[in-house]
Structures are given as structure tokens and as C-alpha cells.
Structure 1
């Protein structure tokens, strides 16, 4: 499944952009599917409550695709990541982590919360490192957090971000 539908550097760089969407809706196995359902319910549900359903869908896919492209570019540019250039992955977690970062940026203790989530990702990496997935989660969280800070700045100052 990963070879035919997953998102990876070789598939996307060769022009198969449909994988940016197909990979989002797939899971490795049944356990991953149920984890994704819970994660999606939390992140998408919260964001839909705050931003509405259309805004949530646009934000989710924007962060998911955007963070995927940043990840694939990093794999292409950084020689230390060349080992993962042939890997493919599936799942909605990058969009979910992007929405989590967006939500954290609006919280009172945003910097501490962001640090805590990054620490949690670091613990997961120490236990079971999956390069494409884990680096993607960090990128997505930080992109969502950055987008949330820009939105917050525009709302509080009235100036464009």
C-alpha cells in the first residue's frame, strides 16, 4: 500500500501529486486507523468549533500538504536525511499536528505547551524513531504554531502578519 499510495519524495517529485491527498486518508493497519480517528476527532473537532467547518478543512489540508512539502524538501536538501528519500508514509497526522500547533498558539501558556508537545515527540523518537513520520510531526506542529501566532498577531494588532 505504501509503495502505491503513500507520500514520499520520489513519488511527489516525479509529478504524482495525487499522493498528497491519497496518503492522507490511508492507514498502515487497524491500530493506526483507530489512533487516527481519535486524533482527528480531537484536532478537527476543536478547530471546527473555533473556526467553522470550511475553515477547518482548508486549514487542515493546507497544513498537511504544506508540512509534507517542507518535509520532502528537507529530505532533498539535507544530506543527513538522504536515507529516508525512498520511504513512503500514509496518514493524517501531519495535518493533525498542524492543527494542534494552531490551537496551542492560541493558548495562554503557548510556549510551554509547544515545548511540552515537542518533548513528547522527542520521547517517542527516543523509543521508536520513524524518520519521515517523526520529522514531519515536528515540522507540522511548528508550521501550525507559527500560523497560529501570525493569526493571533493580526487579531491583536490589526496589522497584517
Structure 2
């Protein structure tokens, strides 16, 4: 029980995921099209000012398989980050990277891709998406930045994303994974450098 108390944000996050997909009908097999239309995020929904979808879309999954994968992914990544850090820092890091990364994707990447006929993603602006993996990859980036051989590990994850894109491009998800991974890594790297600099200054006093 004491271990559970160390990861309250993770438990809350997973609970909301389960409840959201249960009520939405995803656990029966597939997220209903009407629910995706009402709660999913896209370039168009954010442009029209429906910013709440940046949160609501996070807790939903397209189908049962995706839900199960993301439930395990969220439990592992968010749980690890919270276990080794603090609950407040985990919540702030996850949602800030998830939201910032999603906005970058929807306002910069999607319009650019939609304008390139060769890619065949002309409808990318209207494509609705759901899922928590953007913020999850942000936490992965932050975790890697605190590990030994961080640059090698970062390169390996980036390479894995590139391979996935080569075989099965998903403009919103793939670009969000890459961008959030790099944001998380950069943020943690910056904090680590500043922390070491501060420690050196304190040691000189």
C-alpha cells in the first residue's frame, strides 16, 4: 500500500483512462465515431478554440488494443517518472509537454504536411486523434536525459520512430512522439546542467 502512495498521479491517470474509455465504449472494441468527433483533437478543432480537447483527447483510445497498450505504457512511463521524482513535477511535466507538443504538431507540422501533395495527407487538418502517448514520449525523453549513455539512447529511440514512420506514417502521432521526446530530453538536460552549475557555485562558497 505504501508503494501506491508514492504514485498517486499515475493511479489517478490510469483510473481516468479506464473510466473514460469505459463510458466512451472503447472497451467494447472501438471508439465510436461520434465520441471521436466530440472529444478528439485535430488542427481544425484547436483553431476554432476548442482547447479542452487537448485534455479530453488524452484519456481516450481508438480501440481496445490501443487502450491496453497505452494503459501499460502510461503505467510504466508515468509511474517510473513519478516514483523517481515528485507527483507535482510529474503532472506538470506530462501535461505541459503533451499540450505544447500537440500544439506544435497541429499548428506547424500538420499544415506543412497537408500542403505537400506527394505525402498524400491533404486531409491531415481534419484528422481527429486521441491518446496519451505524446506526453508519454515527453517523459521518456526526460528519463533518458537522466540516464548514462543518454545521447546513444536518444538516438536509438529517434531511429525507432523513423523506422516506424518509414513503414506506417501517422502524421499526428509520429510527429508528436518525436517532438515531445526531444522537448522532454531538452528540458531535463537543461535542468540538469543548471543544477550542476548551481551545485558548483554552492561548493565554492
TM over 0.5: yes
Structure having the higher Rg? 2
Instruction: Give the structure 2 partner of residue 12 of structure 1.
Output: 46
Gaps of 5+ in 1: none
SS at match of 1:143: helix
**Would you identify which runs of 4 or more consecutive aligned residues in structure 1 move more than 3 Å?**
none
Instruction: Give the structure 1 partner of residue 183 of structure 2.
Output: 143
Instruction: Give the structure 1 partner of residue 202 of structure 2.
Output: none
SS at match of 2:61: coil
Instruction: Give the structure 2 partner of residue 128 of structure 1.
Output: 168
Asked if 1:119 is matched to 2:159, the reply is: yes
Superposed displacement of residue 88, structure 1: 1.4
Asked if 1:47 is matched to 2:107, the reply is: no
Q: 1:117 to 1:96 in 2, by over 3 A?
A: same
Superposed displacement of residue 13, structure 1: 1.0
Instruction: Give the structure 1 partner of residue 60 of structure 2.
Output: 26
Instruction: Give the structure 2 partner of residue 87 of structure 1.
Output: 127
Supply the distance in 1 between the matched residues of 2:170 and 2:68 (Cα, whole angstroms): 19
Superposed displacement of residue 76, structure 1: 5.8
Q: TM-score, length-normalised on structure 2?
A: 0.73
Q: TM-score, length-normalised on structure 1?
A: 0.92
Supply the distance in 1 between the matched residues of 2:172 and 2:36 (Cα, whole angstroms): 13
Supply the distance in 2 between the matched residues of 1:77 and 1:151 (Cα, whole angstroms): 32
Instruction: Give the structure 1 partner of residue 30 of structure 2.
Output: none
Say whether the 8 Å CA contact 1:9–1:75 is kept in structure 2: no
Aligned length: 158
Pairing partner for 1:97 from 129, 132, 137 = 137
Superposed displacement of residue 54, structure 1: 1.7
Supply the distance in 2 between the matched residues of 1:115 and 1:75 (Cα, whole angstroms): 21
Instruction: Give the structure 1 partner of residue 36 of structure 2.
Output: 2
Greater RCO between the two (CA within 8 Å, min separation 6)? 1
Q: CA RMSD in A?
A: 1.5
Larger deviation, residues 14-23 vs 123-132? 123-132
